[in-house]
Amino acid sequence: MFSLYFHIPFCRKACHYCDFHFSTKLTSVDEMVVAMARELALRAPEWTALGTPSTVYFGGGTPSVLAPDQIAFLLSAVRRQFPDSTFDEVTLEANPDDLDTERLEGWRAAGVDRLSVGVQTFDDAALEWMGRTHSGDDAARALERAAAAGFERMTLDLMYGLPGRSLGGWERDLARALELPINHLSAYLLTVEPRTALGVRVAKGLEQEAPEAAVEAAYSALCEQLSVKGWDHYEVSNFALPGGHAVHNARYWRGVPYLGIGPGAHGFNGTDRYANRPNNPLYLKALADARSTDALPAEWDRLTATDRYNEALMTGLRTAQGLDLNALEVGFGRRPDVDEAREWGDAVSRGRLVPEGGRWRIPESQWLIGDAIASAFFAIQD
């Protein structure tokens, strides 16, 4: 079993904060879809030993620039290469602008059964500052249309830590989100990336990052409001109602292999990781002539047992399920409470690690610094 990820490298407009790979030139969308099916055909023989893809995720970029027939074409390509495939989940990331009734019904008919909708905020002034092209009311209406079209699993993405944003504004975003027909909410802290319009403005002193105290207050409000409403906070940034948990993303966190397709996509076969170069023209040119995976514009990184152990620590401690120390020892021959006993004991004494159900986890109140906590237990390369 493995997961399948299609990176759709197009957006209608660049957001000021985003450093994912995309192009706003949409003239090559059709050619790109054909090229991605070609990459899938080239890579498939090397993945059959892992079984068949059980989840499919269309990410980007903005995958909702693809018409329903293009999504159907790619899903048909998957079934052609892996005839025994049965999908537990097929997710499409979407912008509210693209969610008209015709497209929604077409995507559903093509096989998409989860939407992940990039709302970010319902505040129109903040949306304009971010470079988004929808309004808060547009986003709400789009989610209502999606529910009417039959989508029962929907993620709403929000962003906190926006410069100059008040806590009250963030709390209004949460309240409005919880009024909508969604069963999954992802909330991400705005990070300032150097190669973005926002990064340039911050470097020039024209913008200020949100103060640490404001970020902490926003995260606390997030956790509190969703807890009161009965949402399961099952990963640092993710919350779900019963039946709404994201299957594809949860498999990433458990270290399940994933096949990545498209320029800028990453893949992991269980031992090694690859990254397709984030260059659309280069990708299209290579796929026009490629006869084997050797011709694909990708870079491989062989992971050591220590690399995979450290990743298992990091991803495990980002979830409410936490770590099974015995399973770590069986899988990797080491465990942090023994190999980094001093650091582990210090974290336990400070309440940064707590036992729960035979496992160890970082409590919700400490999740904002969870990556720093986890990294203290990393093993040094042999």
Report the pLDDT value the prediction gives residue 338, as an integer from 0 to 100: 96
Report the pLDDT value the prediction gives residue 341, as an integer from 0 to 100: 97
Report the pLDDT value the prediction gives residue 75, as an integer from 0 to 100: 98
Please determine, for residue 251, whether its predicted confidence score (pLDDT) is greater than 90. yes
List Cβ neighbours of 120 (8 Å cut-off, separation of 6 or more): 126, 127, 130, 132, 157, 158, 159
CATH number 1.10.10 given to 305-375? yes
3-state DSSP assignment of residue 323: strand
Average pLDDT score over residue span 360-374: 96
Q: What is the mean pLDDT of the chain?
A: 94
Report the pLDDT value the prediction gives residue 197, as an integer from 0 to 100: 75
What the block records as the tokens of 309 is 């152990």
What is the pTM assigned to this prediction?
0.94
Please determine, for residue 21, whether its predicted confidence score (pLDDT) is greater than 70. no
Question: pLDDT tens-digit profile of 139-160?
Answer: 999 999 999 999 999 999 999 9
Q: How confident is the model at residue 41 (pLDDT cuts 50, 70, 90)?
A: very high
User: CA–CA distance from 174 to each of 34, 224, 244, 369 (Å)?
Assistant: 40, 11, 17, 22
Report the pLDDT value the prediction gives residue 118, as an integer from 0 to 100: 96
Q: Look at strands 266-268 and 272-276 and give their pairing.
A: antiparallel
Q: How far is the C-alpha of 304 from the C-alpha of 201, rounded, in Å? A: 39
Report the pLDDT value the prediction gives residue 210, as an integer from 0 to 100: 84
Give the least confident one: 18-27, 73-82, 276-285.
18-27
Report the pLDDT value the prediction gives residue 222, as an integer from 0 to 100: 98
Please determine, for residue 253, whether its predicted confidence score (pLDDT) is greater than 80. yes
Are 173 and 120 within 8 A, CB to CB?
Answer: no
Question: pLDDT tens-digit profile of 43-99?
Answer: 999 999 999 999 999 999 999 999 999 999 999 999 999 999 999 999 999 999 999
Q: How far is the C-alpha of 232 from the C-alpha of 244, rounded, in Å? A: 10
Report the pLDDT value the prediction gives residue 18, as an integer from 0 to 100: 63
Q: How confident is the model at residue 200 (pLDDT cuts 50, 70, 90)?
A: confident
Domain positions in the chain are 2-252, 305-375
Q: How confident is the model at residue 129 (pLDDT cuts 50, 70, 90)?
A: confident
Please determine, for residue 342, whether its predicted confidence score (pLDDT) is greater than 90. yes
Sheet with 232-235: strands ordered across: 232-235, 238-240, 184-189, 153-160, 114-120, 89-94, 53-60, 2-8, 258-261, 266-268, 272-276, 298-302
Q: Would you tell me the crossing angle of helices 68-81 and 101-110 to the nearest 10 degrees?
A: 10
Residue 255 CB-density burial (10 A; 0-12 exposed, 13-18 middle, 19+ buried)? middle
Report the pLDDT value the prediction gives residue 208, as an integer from 0 to 100: 80
Report the pLDDT value the prediction gives residue 209, as an integer from 0 to 100: 83
Please determine, for residue 277, whether its predicted confidence score (pLDDT) is greater than 70. yes
Please determine, for residue 315, whether its predicted confidence score (pLDDT) is greater than 70. yes
What the block records as the tokens of 213 is 């105290």
Average pLDDT score over residue span 37-48: 97
Report the pLDDT value the prediction gives residue 4, as an integer from 0 to 100: 98
In one-letter notation, the amino acid at residue 264 is G
Please determine, for residue 19, whether its predicted confidence score (pLDDT) is greater than 80. no
Q: Which CATH architecture has domain 2-252?
A: Alpha-Beta Barrel (3.20)
Neighbours of 157 (CB within 10 A): 18
Please determine, for residue 335, whether its predicted confidence score (pLDDT) is greater than 90. yes
Q: How confident is the model at residue 382 (pLDDT cuts 50, 70, 90)?
A: low
